[in-house]
A and B are shown apart, each in its own frame.
Chain A
């Protein structure tokens, strides 16, 4: 610890230094369990191709709507495809969309928010655009965007990101607005630091803690919105299994084969529950009031 931070510190040290986590902060058993379940789901989804017994797309007209058996763990769907293989493989796309949408919206929102918060002239214009985006219901906007761009993975991520960005921008902007009044920022101006340097080195670190929390919520809601879009037929192509797609297809057979909706639904709910729980924990840990009590 003899050099300037950022030069030789481990990534963790830098991160916890940036977020100024209280030393010895304790976390209950709930969040630990949530993390465990989430990791299990993520690993199982990523590794799905390695262990699923059937090709999730292979149809078998002779084996339609089979009940669970040793060959088909959760039975088969109306086209004779293995439900277990489909649900496990479907998680990959759903999670990819969740994480992708979170990363894209946080990155874009951070950039716009920093600029809007710091430059008064840009602020008015940018924020009115963000306001108008927020005025349109997220699902409607997403459906419209997918309809415009065609149903692909990328366009679904964009469709989910666009309504989320204004929320991130507002958050970042509010943090920057209060942080830019800090004397240390004024001191940096007096020391001749350039605007990009002040933005990136003095102001941005302040936004990271709330952004991580916001990111987890976006991730959870993106998975959900993807499911809704797929369910409405506006999601990724029906050939790619996602949790939303599987449920959408299964809804007409719900009464004879509830597993078609139950299993992807269960994983989806578990996933969102765990992510939200972790987000809450992160929020509690990063809350300045918590820090005060600790230190």
Chain B
């Protein structure tokens, strides 16, 4: 693995933050949100801020932009010095001039950061119109130029396009173009690739690096993804609870982390090397999917063709085994999961769960079979009814299937213990729990039905890495204890490598490759699988053991 190792201490220092303290507005005695942040960024440097959610990464960037929400957060001390200009005491007018011209920012979700009713070209031009005296034709020329620079294809067409007509990657390119059109000294990127697919992420990371080299911009890059950090960082600051606990050049941090917290964070990052496969049991398959097909739309007479979200998907899972479906967004992996759960009705094919064909059953017939298959969703904040106590959520299923309430309650209490939540969690509401705890509750709710098959649809994607590791451990634990077959949908190859026995790779609704996880992930046959693996950031680094991954795999990755 090649890390950046430039010496930037001689370069001009763009940003100097000293002892920055941010707290809740009007409550100086409350616990601070940022507690004494020091930060230096030099021209041409990429400085990564990493940490789990709630550690204060984004607040640091907002304070630097002077964009703290006024009625909630305020700077309570310290200084933010942008080459001699003090940001903490700047007036709104000064800040407005400063933004775009000297500091620019790109966000995680380019769809919401762009105005949906204006053409993207006009939106870039607007930045120029506000901050420069360029004539209209000059502004347009400059806009087209920057759009070329961020490698947008067919610039004239995209200039006149609306945000919804572009792909996620193209939108993020527009955001980058808009941020860099005035050639700022400092670019703040707040999780700019988190919402993108891996292959697109790789392109955007390359683009940011290229633009940085061309313009000599300093980049403050905020991310939770250690893989991305390994790819792009010069220097890394690890944040925890509003403090920077460790700062080091990237190589030092990944090979010899000093702080306990940094070690914990790195150890939790799953490896891209698949774990050793488990012996396949002899038992008959719990889930058998054959020729599953799902076509959306297409009109009454199927003349329009419709969207084929899944075609000819075939696989099976034995009890106690885990099968992963991996692929990028739009590959149809969630469609398959929802068809199997019968949340949508497949247009063709067979789904056999525990010996019963369910794909063609009517909703009414399906009722009694529902208890055999359960699902855990991605977003732990929306998968529990916010108005229901945990106990009520846990008992809902068993009561539907005729379990007396007292018995269901007793079982719910046991399950809470199993997922390591305190007993008093029963009477509390979902908003009183963290994301990881809620996901545990959702798992307990699914397990309460004693299913034969558990579908986990991106079940750990919304969680911090350390929590992710715990929830994966819990899922495996539950699987062992009850011998459940698991269908694991994920876009994250690292997660797939850690938990799956078998893997199905999907692209555009079709299965392009399937087999044992060890085979597919170390010896991919299809070019799409290969490009997925190659795009995974930091794939050659074994984060948990602070060293490069075993030579053979690294070789394969690069030569493939």
> Which residue of A is nearest B384, CB measured?
A184
Q: How far is the CB of A210 from chain B (nearest CB, A)?
A: 15
Whether a CB of chain A sits under 8 angstroms from the CB of B400 is yes
List the B residue with the shortest CB-CB distance to A203: B385
Given A5-B389, A18-B387, A190 contacting B375 (CB threshold 8 A): yes
- Given A190-B374, A191-B449, A193-B400, also A20-B386 (CB < 8 A): yes
Contact with A along B377-399 (1 / 0, CB 8 A): 11100111111110110011100
Q: Is the CB of B385 within 8 A of A191?
A: no
B297 at the binding interface (Cβ < 8 Å): no
Let me know if B85 is at the binding interface, CB within 8 A. no
Q: Is B71 an interface residue (CB 8 A)?
A: yes
Determine the chain A residues whose CB is within 8 A of the CB of B377 once the complex forms.
Answer: 183, 186-187
Main secondary structure of the interface of A (DSSP, over half): helix
Answer whether A183 and B389 are a contact pair too, CB < 8 Å, given A190-B375, A192-B370, A192-B400: no
Determine if A64 is an interface residue (Cβ-Cβ < 8 Å). no
Q: Could you say which residues of chain B place their CB within 8 Å of the CB of A193? A: 396-397, 400
16 residue pairs from A and B, CB less than 8 Å apart: A4-B392, A18-B387, A183-B377, A183-B379, A183-B382, A183-B383, A184-B384, A187-B375, A187-B377, A187-B445, A188-B396, A190-B341, A190-B343, A190-B373, A192-B370, A202-B385
| CB–CB B367/A192 < 8 A | yes
Say if the beta carbon of B440 comes within 8 Å of chain A: no
The 3 closest A-B pairs by CB, nearest first: A191-B397, A183-B383, A192-B370
Q: Which residues of chain B have C-beta atoms less than 8 A from A1's C-beta?
A: 427
Given A187-B377, A192-B370, CB of A5 within 8 Å of CB of B392 = yes
Whole-angstrom distance between the alpha carbons of A5 and B373 in the complex?
28
Given A183-B377, A192-B367, A192-B401, verify A17-B383 contact (CB < 8 Å). no
The interface of chain B, by Cβ under 8 A from chain A, is 71-72, 341, 343, 367-368, 370-371, 373-375, 377-379, 382-389, 391-392, 395-397, 400-401, 427, 442, 445, 449
User: Which chain B positions have C-beta within 8 A of A188?
Assistant: 385, 396
A48 to chain B, nearest CB (A): 41
Contact residues of A between 10 and 67, Cβ < 8 Å to B: 17-18, 20
B343 in contact with A189 (CB, 8 Å): yes
CB 8 Å contact bits of A176-205 with B (1 = contact, 0 = none)? 000000111011111111100100001001
The chain A residue with its CB closest to the CB of B429 is: A17
A128 within 8 A of B: no
Q: Tell me which residues across on chain B come within 8 A of A5, comparing CB atoms.
A: 387-389, 392
Give the CA-CA distance A191 to B375 in the complex, in Å.
Answer: 9
Is A2 among interface residues, defined by CB-CB distance under 8 A?
yes
For the complex, give the distance between the alpha carbons of A4 and B400 in Å: 16
Q: A1-B427, A191-B396 are in contact. Are A182 and B382 (CB under 8 A)?
A: yes
Let me know if A191 and B445 touch, CB within 8 A: yes
Q: Which of B72, B387, B388, B400 contacts A191 (CB 8 A)?
A: B400
**Chain A positions within 8 Å of B385 at CB level:** 184, 188, 202
Output the nearest chain B residue to A3 by Cβ-Cβ distance.
B427
- The tally of CB-CB contacts under 8 A between chains A and B is 67
A190 CA / B385 CA spacing, docked (Å) = 14
A289 at the B interface (CB under 8 A): no
Bound-complex Cα distance A183 to B374 (A): 13
From residue A190, how far is it (CB to closest CB) to chain B in Å? 5
Contact between chains at A184 and B383 (CB < 8 Å): yes
The interface residues of chain B lying within 8 Å CB-to-CB of A202 are: 385
User: A182 to B377, alpha carbons, bound, how many Å?
Assistant: 10
How distant is A199 from chain B, measured CB to nearest CB, in Å?
13
A192 in contact with B387 given A183-B377, A187-B377 (CB within 8 Å): no
* A192-B371 in contact (CB<8A): yes
| A169 to B387 CA separation, bound complex (whole angstroms) | 23
Tell me if A120 is interfacial: C-beta within 8 Å of chain B.
no
Chain A residues with CB below 8 A from B373, complex form = 190
Contact across chains for B343 and A186 when beta carbons are under 8 A apart: yes
Complex Cα spacing A7 to B383, Å: 24
* Residues in A whose Cβ lies below 8 Å from that of B378: 183
Distance in angstroms between the alpha carbons of A84 and B341 in the assembled complex: 68
Q: Which of A2, A20, A190 contacts B370 (CB 8 A)?
A: A190
Q: Return chain A residues, CB-CB under 8 Å to B367.
A: 192
What's the least CB distance linking B128 to chain A, in Å? 33
The smallest C-beta distance from A189 to any residue of chain B, in angstroms, reads 6
A182 vs B387: C-alpha distance when bound (angstroms): 13
Nearest B residue (CB) for A197: B400
Interface flags, A151-175, vs B, CB<8A=1, else 0: 0000000000000000000000000
Q: Determine the residue in chain B with the shortest Cβ distance to A4.
A: B392
Distance in angstroms from A201 CB to nearest chain B CB is: 8
Question: Quick check: A2 and B383 within 8 Å, CB to CB?
Answer: no
Residue in chain A with minimal CB distance to B71: A293
Which chain B residues lie closer than 8 Å to A183 at the CB level? 377-379, 382-383
Q: Are A192 and B397 in contact (CB under 8 A)?
A: yes
Kindly report which residue of chain A lies nearest to residue B448, judged by CB atoms.
Answer: A191
Query: Which chain A residues numbered 187 to 236 have a C-beta less than 8 Å away from chain B?
Result: 187-194, 197, 202, 205
Query: How far is A197 from B442 in the complex, measured between Cα atoms in Å?
Result: 20
Q: How far is the CA of A187 from the CA of B451 in the complex (A)?
A: 14
Cα of A202 to Cα of B397 in the assembled complex, Å: 14
Q: How far is the CA of A111 from the CA of B396 in the complex (A)?
A: 23
Q: Within 8 Å CB of A189, what residues of B?
A: 343
Question: In the bound complex, do residue B427 and residue A2 qualify as a contact, i.e. CB atoms below 8 Å apart?
Answer: yes
Please name all residues of chain B whose beta carbon is closer than 8 Å to the beta carbon of A190 when the two chains form the complex.
341, 343, 370, 373-375
Complex Cα distance, B429 from A205, in Å, reads: 15
